[in-house]
């Protein structure tokens, strides 16, 4: 079961396996919004969390493949949980100590290997220095270097900053059918219209992503967005709402100039969606 964490109306996926499954199995793209762990100070490639459109999150919840959860970490601890807390702290300190010992052992072993590799160099250098100083050569001292115990300073220990929560924290389930401060999209007419259009296009096998870059509601791809350019710009027009001609001309012009077809989508109350595509043609 995929866990989608909602935070102030945004649906975030923190687990890497879940993010992969969402893209591969469910054809949902989403946007990565966090810093990439290896190269955090750049904007071209971002990392986890994966932010899903509200329509994508609702689709997964409707399919029964995901649940929407909310964190209750900031609420004060209940009685029984304080003992849990103390034991967690103990466990963490234990882990830290074990990690430190392991790192010390590995660092010591590496240092020993390095010294063994450079032993001849070191011996040469020492002999030369002793000659310059005018002392007698002493063969017994060379081995002493490798025997001194190596202490890894605590400050240079490596610690891990996990992205997703390590142990399951305090979370509570969010009902996506009723509006709440963390999930305000439920029962919102604009969201319902968009969701109908989204579901219809997704059922036909397309990949969909946000369309704000091209002035529409969704961008429709025939395959994975990493391999294809978008074919359609989907604009949701609620049935019965007036559509000013200026807006239509603006959308059509934009679509022609970026070589995409504008798709006007209108969900009807019966559940079906009517699609109209705009194409720039000649006089006929």
Partner 1 sequence: MGFTEHGKQCLLPEEALYLLECGSIQLFYRDLPLSIQEAYEILLSQGTVSLLQYQVFSHLKRLGYIVLRFCPSVVPSQYERKLNLDSYCKSTGKRHHKRKRSSSPRLQDKKQKVSGNPLEAPGTPEKASESCGDPKKPASGESCLSEKSKESDPASREGQSSQVATDAVQLSKSPSHSQAKTGDQAAGNSCSGTHPSRWDFTRIAFPNMASDCPHTFLSQPDKTLLPENVAGREADATRWCKLVNQKREKLTRKEQAQQERESRYKSSVNADREVRRCSNWQEYKALLKQRSQHRAGRRPSHLWDQPVTPLVKPDQVASAAAVLKQISVLQPSHILDGASRLQEDMAGMKIDFSVYQADAVANFKKNDPGKPYARMCARRFDEPIPSLRVMKRLAYQSEDVPVVFALVDNGEIAFYSFKEFKLPVDTY
Minimum CB distance to partner 1, residue 95 (Å): 10
Rounded to whole angstroms, how far apart are CA atoms 249 and 255? Answer: 10
Query: With binding defined as CB under 8 A, does residue 161 bind partner 1?
Result: yes
Minimum CB distance to partner 1, residue 128 (Å): 43
Rounded to whole angstroms, how far apart are CA atoms 274 and 269? Answer: 11
Minimum CB distance to partner 1, residue 73 (Å): 6
Residue of 83, 145, 157, 166 that binds partner 1 (CB under 8 A): 166
Rounded to whole angstroms, how far apart are CA atoms 16 and 33? Answer: 13
- x/- letters, 188..207, toward partner 1 (CB under 8 A): --x-----------------
Stretch that binds partner 1, among 9-17, 237-245, 260-268, 270-278 (CB under 8 A): 9-17
Q: Quick count: other Cβ atoms within 10 Å of Cβ 57?
A: 26
Residue of 210, 225, 252, 258 that binds partner 1 (CB under 8 A): 210
Edge to edge, what strands does the sheet with 261-267 contain? 207-210, 218-221, 232-236, 261-267, 273-278
The answer to whether 221 is a known catalytic residue is yes
Rounded to whole angstroms, how far apart are CA atoms 72 and 93? Answer: 24
Rounded to whole angstroms, how far apart are CA atoms 178 and 184? Answer: 8
Q: Which of residues 58-87 bind partner 1 (CB under 8 A)?
A: 71, 73-74, 85
The answer to whether 16 touches 48, Cβ cutoff 8 Å, is yes
> By the criterion CB under 8 A, which residues form the site for partner 1?
5, 7-8, 10, 12, 14, 30-35, 37, 40-43, 48-49, 51-54, 71, 73-74, 85, 88-89, 92, 159, 161-166, 169, 181, 190, 210, 212-213
């Amino acid at each position: 079961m995929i866990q989608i964490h909602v935070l102030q109306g945004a649906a975030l996926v923190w687990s890497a396996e879940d993010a992969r499954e969402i893209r591969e199995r469910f054809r949902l793209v989403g946007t990565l919004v966090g810093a990439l762990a290896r190269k955090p100070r750049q904007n071209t490639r971002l990392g986890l969390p994966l932010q899903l459109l509200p329509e994508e999150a609702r689709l997964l919840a409707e399919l029964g493949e995901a649940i929407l959860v909310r964190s209750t970490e900031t609420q004060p601890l209940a009685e029984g949980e304080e003992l849990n807390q103390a034991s967690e702290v103990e466990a963490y300190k234990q882990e830290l100590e074990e990690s430190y010992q392991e790192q010390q052992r590995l660092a010591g072993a590496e240092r020993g290997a390095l010294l063994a590799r450079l032993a001849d160099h070191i011996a040469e250098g020492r002999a030369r220095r002793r000659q310059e100083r005018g002392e007698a050569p002493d063969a017994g001292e060379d081995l002493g270097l490798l025997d001194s115990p190596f202490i890894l300073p605590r400050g240079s220990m490596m610690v891990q900053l996990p992205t997703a929560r390590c142990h399951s924290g305090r979370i509570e389930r969010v009902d996506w059918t009723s509006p709440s401060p963390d999930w305000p999209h439920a029962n919102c007419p604009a969201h319902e219209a968009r969701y109908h259009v989204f579901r219809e296009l997704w059922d036909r096998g397309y990949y969909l992503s946000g369309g704000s870059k091209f002035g529409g509601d969704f961008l429709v791809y025939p395959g994975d967005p990493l391999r294809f350019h978008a074919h359609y710009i989907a604009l949701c027009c609620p049935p019965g709402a007036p559509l000013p001609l200026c807006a239509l001309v603006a959308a059509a012009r934009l679509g022609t100039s970026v070589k995409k077809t504008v798709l006007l989508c209108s969900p009807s109350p019966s559940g079906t969606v009517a699609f109209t595509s705009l194409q720039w043609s000649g006089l006929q």
